[in-house]
Amino acid sequence: MFDDDNLVSIAGLVPVMTLAEQTGLTSMLAEKVAITAPRIKSGSANPAPKLATLIAGMCAGADSIDDVDLLRSGGCKELFGGVYAPSTVGTLLREFTFGHAKQLESVMGEHLLALTERADLLPGADVRVFVDIDSLLRPVHGHQKQGASYGHTKIAGKQVLRKGLSPLVATISTDIAAPVVSGMRLRAGKTGSGKGAASMVTTSIGTARAAGATGTIVVRGDSAFGNRKVVRAARRGGAEFSVVLTKNSSVKTAIAAISDDAWTPVRYPGAVRDPETGEWISDAEVAEIPYTAFSSTKDKVTARLIVRRVKDARYPDALFPIWRHHPFFTNSTESTADADITHRRHAVIETVFADLIDGPLAHMPSGRFAANSAWVLCAAITHNLLRAAGTLAGGRLGRARGATLRRKLLNIPARLARPQRHPILHLPRHWPWIDAWLMLWHNTIGYTPPQPQSI
């Protein structure tokens, strides 16, 4: 029988949302998000607690507006004040415009800085920081989604056309820290991947500096971002760049000019060391050559064109090796092999995509483009908040996936009791992750840092 008012299914949300309050999330939302000319007056009232309700629901695993109703079940209404109904949250999202989404984007950046002050989200930032940028295409269905259009995406290694919306995402990470989201912007599905990338790179470099990155900053991107605007933004921000270049005639000529004895085998899946020489025996090799990119523009720059070549698996029995070449352009000072490894680790941004798709970006819930823009920004805030919670829980949870954090820290059942009117949560005996949960609890409950100052 569903008749118990004291059961809680998401007890871990208490320390997580306490962390959100301690880092000033609600106050930032109240200060920065203002809807002055609403279509429905009641729908735009109190945007801060409504957006906080949505973020709390996303932390618990909500991937649609209706899922927010989880926060009103059992004893949750006693634990969390100001929880709004899903219909009210949906009405608020439909009041959003492009300008309101920019307001929420400002909250996301400022809250990330507050989280970095509260938790050590970027260890190793005094040595090297990576700003990765990429886009993804989220499929949508039906004819009522504003901005939905056919765009190119890759499925199982093949380019296909798919109808959807295309968020542009920038992340910040280090050699030992999992990525946090520093920028997110929703675009139409047919939008080119690189559109708006330069401004997001500039913002992300500034955010990284403000978050305490005193070491080298490296901007990484694939071929969609190997253009002069992105490279110019990186150089103006004092960062190094490592971006893939499209194999045009100029790049092909540079690759052909690399001498045969310049190629060096590198560590690659299946590579082994020669027991006599200690060199790698691999079907992947790297080499580099000086190259001037964007030579016909005022932004021309000369740096290193590093090429990785791999034997084409389609021709295993060819008399002579047939190579596939993968060039990227960089001004880093690492050795050729190390620069190649550093560039290929740009794929770390895919772990963020996997987290978002496995969570709030499983769907684009609204028919209105601006509402979906607000939705993806709330998803970014949620990702960063969960990353900070995992860091405060300690151990491997600082790099854990969002689904892992929800399973181990958030979605834990509890019974709410009130002896002498003092609320106590009774949690399951022998919970496998008691130590991590208590570490998060003691690092949030009762902790009273000064509230961050809004910029």
Match 């720059």 to its residue by tokens: 301
Q: Where are the domains of the chain?
A: 245-328
d(CA 94, CA 262): 58
Q: What would the pLDDT profile of 226-238 be if each residue is shown by its tens digit? A: 999 999 999 999 9
Task: Tell me what pLDDT residue 2 has.
Answer: 86
**Ranges of residues in the chain whose predicted pLDDT is under 70:** 156-157, 268-282, 313, 315-319, 448-455
Residue 434 contacts by C-beta under 8 Å, 6 or more apart in sequence? none
Instruction: Yes or no: say if 282 and 266 are a contact pair by the CB < 8 Å rule.
Output: yes
> Considering only CA atoms, which of 383, 348, 368, 112 is closest in space to residue 242?
348
Q: What would the pLDDT profile of 310-340 be if each residue is shown by its tens digit? A: 877 676 666 677 788 889 999 999 999 899 9
Task: Tell me what pLDDT residue 151 has.
Answer: 86
Residue type present at position 329: F
Task: Tell me what pLDDT residue 453 has.
Answer: 45
Task: Tell me what pLDDT residue 307 has.
Answer: 94
Instruction: Yes or no: say if 317 and 331 are a contact pair by the CB < 8 Å rule.
Output: no
Half-sphere CA count of 60, side-chain side, radius 13 A: 30
Residue 437 contacts by C-beta under 8 Å, 6 or more apart in sequence? 12, 393, 408, 409, 412, 427, 431
d(CA 244, CA 112): 28
- Entry pTM: 0.92
Task: Tell me what pLDDT residue 145 has.
Answer: 86
